[in-house]
């Protein structure tokens, strides 16, 4: 393959440093920054934050110009709404907890952006994600980044293998501190000192409840008071509407039971929230759907793996049983709070071998 790369530019330190490193390695770069959403609407006014705002788009353009390569601003708002925002709303309004970054990576960054790369004659796309790619037995696998605290493979599991074969992750072998140091050494002092945002990019102030209220036409009719119950169905009190809660939530429940209470189940159809103890969220068995595998035969031959059921959790040893696109994970030790709608990501030897969507 050639060395022409579509560099996904966010305006932040990671994508800018990725671009600089690739230039130093002799790649020919074409920059691209995408507009994916509008946060300012009649019913939801907030200062924009995140990776796809007007300010960050302009920063990305300026950084590309400073580094001497062409830059394109592309409008993916329709695709982003269809694949990411609409799913986010649908999941919450079904009593689930979505993972929008996973869908954004699969359908936007490695979907319509890959189409843009083809349009511009690029051999690869590159991003500032902290991940690596390994080729094993003719397959391309995601592999954990050198910086375990920044490893982002959890959010990348849904990327098709044929796209991984055309992907570069320049930062995969570095720690975040090393990246900041390299940026400072190359004169990008402001970027080196810039704070990171951990918020969902299209949700103002990281307040998903206000976002839902502003974007679900009949939200006031659907988000109404309902019953808190215990695991036996006994009524405990009233809650403020099921979309306000997520599995494992303890704070903001608005009920005093004389002991710590956690959300253990959400039934959107009956608008019922089940409360229980911390231990009620422990389980050894987790069901997943919509599974994808890099090499299914590898899993069938060796069903032992490590599984991460949330970004901030450590991978835990489990045995997987496959049933078409569904699977059941039997963990060696109980895991806490598997949440419908979140991702379960499967690892073997630090490589992502597959993933699925948590159902229970």
Same domain for 346 and 237: no
Structural domain containing residue 240: 224-276
Q: What is the DSSP string of 254-300?
A: ----SS--EEEEEETTTTEEEEE-GGGGEEEEEEEEEEEES-HHHHH
**Residues 117-156 pLDDT 10s:** 999 999 999 999 999 999 999 999 999 999 999 999 999 9
Q: Is 217 part of any domain?
A: no
Domain limit, last residue, from 276, 303, 320: 276
Element (H, E) at 229: strand 226-229
If you write DSSP's letter for every residue of 69-92 in order, what string do you get? --EEEEE-HHHHIIIIIHHHHHHH
Phi then psi dihedrals of residue 14, to 5 deg: -65, -50
25 domain-assigned: yes
CATH of the domain at 253: 2.30.30.280
Whether residue 272 has pLDDT greater than 80: yes
List the CATH number of the domain containing 193: 3.40.50.620
Give residue-wise pLDDT tens across range 195-249. Answer: 776 678 899 888 999 999 999 999 999 999 999 999 999 999 999 999 999 999 9
Give the Cα separation of 326 and 8 in Å (integer).
Answer: 33
The residue with greater pLDDT, 42 or 266, is 266
Would residue 40 count as lying in a domain? Answer: yes
Domain contains 219: no
pLDDT tens per residue, range 11-26: 899 999 999 999 999 9
Q: Same structural domain for residues 341 and 287?
A: yes
Domain boundary pick from 149, 171, 206: 206
**Closest to 199 in 3D by CA, of 127, 314, 100, 89:** 100
Q: Taking the alpha carbons of 186, 187, 188, 194 in that order, is the dihedral positive or negative? A: positive
Q: What is the pLDDT of residue 1?
A: 65
> Is 261 in the same domain as 122?
no
CB atoms within 10 A of CB 73: 14
Q: Do 234 and 138 share a structural domain?
A: no
- For residues 90-108, give the mean pLDDT: 96
- If pLDDT is split at 50, 70 and 90, which confidence band does 39 have? low
**Given this model, what pLDDT does residue 40 score?**
45
Is 255 among the domain residues?
yes
Same domain, 292 and 251: no
The CATH number linked to 337 is: 2.40.30.10
- Structural domain includes residue 212: no
Residue 46 domain-assigned (yes or no): yes
Q: What is the mean pLDDT of residues 352-359?
A: 98
Active-site residue numbers? 104, 201
Rounded CA separation 162/152 (Å): 19
pTM of the model: 0.92
Which of 206, 235, 267 delimits the end of a domain?
Answer: 206
Same domain? For 119 and 261 the reply is: no
Tens of pLDDT along 50-93? 456 778 888 899 999 999 999 999 999 999 999 999 999 999 99
Let me know whether 254 and 319 are in one domain.
no
Token duo for residue 128: 């500032």
Q: Estimate the crossing angle of helix 13-24 against helix 176-185, to 10 degrees.
A: 70
Q: Do 345 and 237 fall into the same domain? A: no
Asked if residue 286 and residue 353 are part of one domain, the reply reads: yes
Quote the number of domains for the chain.
3
**Whether residue 284 sits in one domain with residue 267:** no
Identify whether residues 128 and 88 lie together within a single domain: yes
Residue 213 lies in a domain: no
- Whether the predicted pLDDT of 336 surpasses 70: yes
Residue 26, classified by CB atoms within 10 Å of its CB into exposed (0-12), middle (13-18) or buried (19+), is: exposed
Burial label for 61, CB within 10 Å (0-12, 13-18, 19+), is: middle
Do residue 313 and residue 298 come from a single domain? yes
């Amino acid at each position: 393959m050639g060395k022409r790369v579509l560099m996904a530019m966010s305006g932040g330190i990671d994508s800018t440093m990725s671009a600089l490193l690739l230039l130093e390695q002799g790649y020919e770069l074409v920059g691209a920054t995408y507009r994916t959403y509008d946060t300012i609407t009649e019913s939801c006014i907030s200062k924009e934050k995140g990776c796809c705002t007007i300010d960050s788009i302009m920063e990305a353009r300026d950084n590309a110009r400073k580094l001497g390569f062409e830059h394109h601003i592309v409008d993916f708002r329709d695709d982003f709404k269809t694949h990411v925002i609409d799913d986010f709303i649908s999941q919450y309004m079904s009593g689930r907890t979505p993972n929008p970054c996973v869908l954004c990576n699969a359908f936007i960054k490695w979907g319509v952006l890959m189409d843009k790369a083809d349009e511009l004659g690029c051999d690869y796309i590159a991003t500032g994600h902290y991940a690596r790619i390994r080729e094993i037995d003719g397959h391309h696998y995601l592999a954990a980044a050198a910086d375990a605290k920044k490893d982002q493979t959890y959010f990348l599991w849904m990327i098709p293998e044929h796209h991984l074969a055309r992907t570069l992750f320049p930062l995969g072998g570095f720690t975040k501190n090393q990246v900041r140091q390299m940026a400072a050494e190359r004169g990008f002092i402001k970027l080196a000192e810039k704070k990171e945002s951990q918020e969902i990019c299209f949700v103002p102030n990281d307040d998903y409840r206000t976002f839902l209220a502003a974007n679900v036409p009949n939200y006031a009719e659907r988000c109404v008071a309902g019953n808190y119950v215990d695991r036996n169905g006994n009524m405990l009190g009233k809650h403020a509407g099921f979309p306000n809660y997520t599995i494992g939530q303890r704070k903001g429940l608005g009920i005093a039971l004389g002991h710590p209470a956690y959300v253990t189940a959400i039934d959107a159809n009956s608008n019922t929230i089940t409360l229980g103890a911390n231990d009620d969220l422990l389980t050894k068995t987790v069901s997943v759907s919509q599974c994808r595998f890099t090499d299914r035969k590898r899993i069938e031959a060796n069903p032992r793996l490590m599984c991460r059921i949330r970004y901030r959790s450590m991978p835990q040893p489990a045995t997987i049983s496959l049933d078409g696109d569904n699977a059941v994970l039997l963990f060696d030790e109980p895991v806490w709070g598997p949440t419908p709608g979140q991702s379960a990501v499967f690892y073997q030897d630090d490589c992502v071998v597959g993933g699925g969507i948590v159902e229970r």
